[in-house]
Amino acid sequence: MSGASTVTRLIDQEAIRHRVEELAEAIAGTITGELTIVVLLKGSFMFAADLVRALDRRGLAPRVEFMRLSSYGLGKESSGLVRLIGDHPEGVAGREVLLVDDIQDTGRTLSVAQNMLLGLGARRVWTCVLLDKPSRREVDFAADFVGFEIEDVFVVGYGIDFAEAYRHLPYIGTVDR
Ligand code: IMP
Ligand code: MG
């Protein structure tokens, strides 16, 4: 899409690649037992694809499930409502679950998703986000594994969109808020 917004690079591909390996190392060293990864769509698809391959290199063989929650409309501000779109993920009951999301902002999405998965019988729900904006937090929630802490800027790329554009970018950049 060619719009009025310009994208300024914030985190390049090499930094992402390196950090994903470190996250996989930390996850592999922490989670034991039968693992199901629940990927929150759509924003974390690229991150999750890289993360599961990094976990494979460390001998993990997770089941991979997907869950779609909606909290954002087409704008840049959260509606404050989080709801499930489509079916619940399977293979959660009695297992260790790693919930993977792109960004932790207010914290509502991860908190709601974690409760849903516990309600489906997960033994424990770990959380992993590529990006964290701690200054934006509105509910008390800290992810177990965090790629990068960033300021309160609106980011796109590496799976993350603005009005469905920019997901394809291999790096993370900022657009004017
Ligand atoms: P939370 O429920 O407020 O923590 O919102 C998390 C979700 O908001 C993320 O999964 C993203 O979909 C979206 N989001 C938060 N910040 C950004 C951003 O800077 N760019 C694009 N989406 C964002
Ligand atoms: Mg999202």
- H/E segment holding residue 116: helix 108-119
CB 128 within 8 A of CB 77: no
Pocket test for ligand 1, best of 74, 77, 105, 177 (most atoms within 8 A of CB): 105
Q: Per residue of the chain (177 residues), what is the pLDDT tens digit?
A: 555 679 999 999 999 999 999 999 999 999 998 999 999 999 999 999 999 999 999 999 999 999 999 865 555 666 667 889 999 999 999 999 999 999 999 999 999 999 999 999 999 999 999 999 999 999 999 999 999 999 999 999 999 999 999 999 999 999 986
Determine if ligand 1 sits within 6 Å of the CB of residue 13.
Answer: no
Peptide bond preceding 42: is omega within 30 degrees of 0, i.e. cis? yes
Rounded Cα distance, 117 and 31, in Å: 17
Q: What is the pLDDT of residue 82?
A: 82
CB 159 within 8 A of CB 46: yes
Residue closest by Cα to atom 14 of ligand 1: 103
How much is the pTM?
0.93
Q: What is the pLDDT of residue 154?
A: 96
Quickly tell me which residue has 């770990």 as its tokens. 126
Instruction: Please name which of 174, 112, 175, 114 lies closest in space to residue 144, comparing C-alpha atoms.
Output: 114
Residue closest by Cα to atom 20 of ligand 1: 155
